[in-house]
Amino acid sequence: AAITTLSSAQMQKIVAPTVADPKTYGLDAPTITATVVAGSARATLAIGKADGESTYARDLSRPIVFTLPQATAADLEKGADTFRRKDMFDGRSFNTSRIDLQRGADTVTFERSKDKDGKETWKNAKGATVDTAKVEEMLTKLSGVRAQLFQDRVDPALKMPTLVATVKMENGK
Q: pLDDT truncated to tens, each residue of the chain (173 aa)?
A: 566 666 667 889 999 998 888 999 999 999 989 888 888 988 899 999 999 899 999 999 999 999 999 888 888 887 767 767 778 777 777 788 899 999 989 999 999 988 888 888 999 999 999 999 999 999 888 888 888 887 878 888 888 888 898 889 876 66
Q: What pLDDT shows up at residue 2?
A: 60
Query: Which candidate, 94, 34, 86, 38, places its Cα nearest to that of 58?
Result: 34
Alpha helices in 43-94 (DSSP H): 70-77, 80-83
Q: What pLDDT shows up at residue 129?
A: 92
The answer for residues whose C-beta is within 8 angstroms of residue 125's C-beta and 6 or more apart is 107, 108, 109, 111
On the CB side of 88, CA atoms within 13 Å amount to 16
Our measurement of the distance from residue 120's CA atom to the centroid of its chain's CA atoms, rounded to an integer in Å, reads 32
Q: What pLDDT shows up at residue 6?
A: 66
